[in-house]
Amino acid sequence: MRSICIDVEKRRASAEAFIPADHPLFADHFPGSPLLPGSLMLELAAQLSGPLAEEFAKTQVGIERWAILGMVRDARFLQPVFLPAHLELSAEIARADSFAIKTNVMVAVNGDRVMQAQLVMMMIETSAEWAQAIEARNNRLARWKDAS
């Protein structure tokens, strides 16, 4: 992820990501014609939906919660993404309550939609043993926000 922008009032977030072709993760996917796996597009969408859900829960619902991906609904991969690729991601809150926030997500390349889905982010209470993980996530999110 290169940058992230969250607008809690509009219930939306956007992000940009760059996926290189020469990363070892893509060595077998596919040699000579590297292709971004759909599971990684969903993960990037969750990396956007999670912070949006957490900020929304904190500022609009008044609860501090940790968002984890609970369910993927109606995921559609509309065209292949060959690497390297610059991705534009967007997420919008479709429904929210204290235990789950549903987001509609979209991934585009050069303005063309390549994936869409609904993600259900489960909102769970944190505990003291998660402090280090939460701090690392907050630092990463701050770097992404500073890049926008």
- Out of 23, 29, 58, 145, pick the active-site residue: 29
Query: Which pLDDT value is given to residue 45?
Result: 98
- 29 is known as an active-site residue: yes
Backbone angles phi, psi at 41, to 5 degrees: -65, -40
Is 49 a member of any domain? yes
Query: Which pLDDT value is given to residue 148?
Result: 65
- Domain holding 14: CATH number? 3.10.129.10
Is 58 a member of any domain? yes
Q: List the beta bridge partners of residue 10.
A: none
Is 118 a member of any domain? yes
Number of structural domains the chain divides into: 1
Q: Tell me which residue range forms the domain holding 82.
A: 3-21+34-134
Burial class (CB in 10 A: 0-12, 13-18, 19+), 72: middle
Query: Which pLDDT value is given to residue 75?
Result: 98
Residue 74 — very low, low, confident or very high, per pLDDT cuts 50/70/90? very high
Is 145 a member of any domain? no
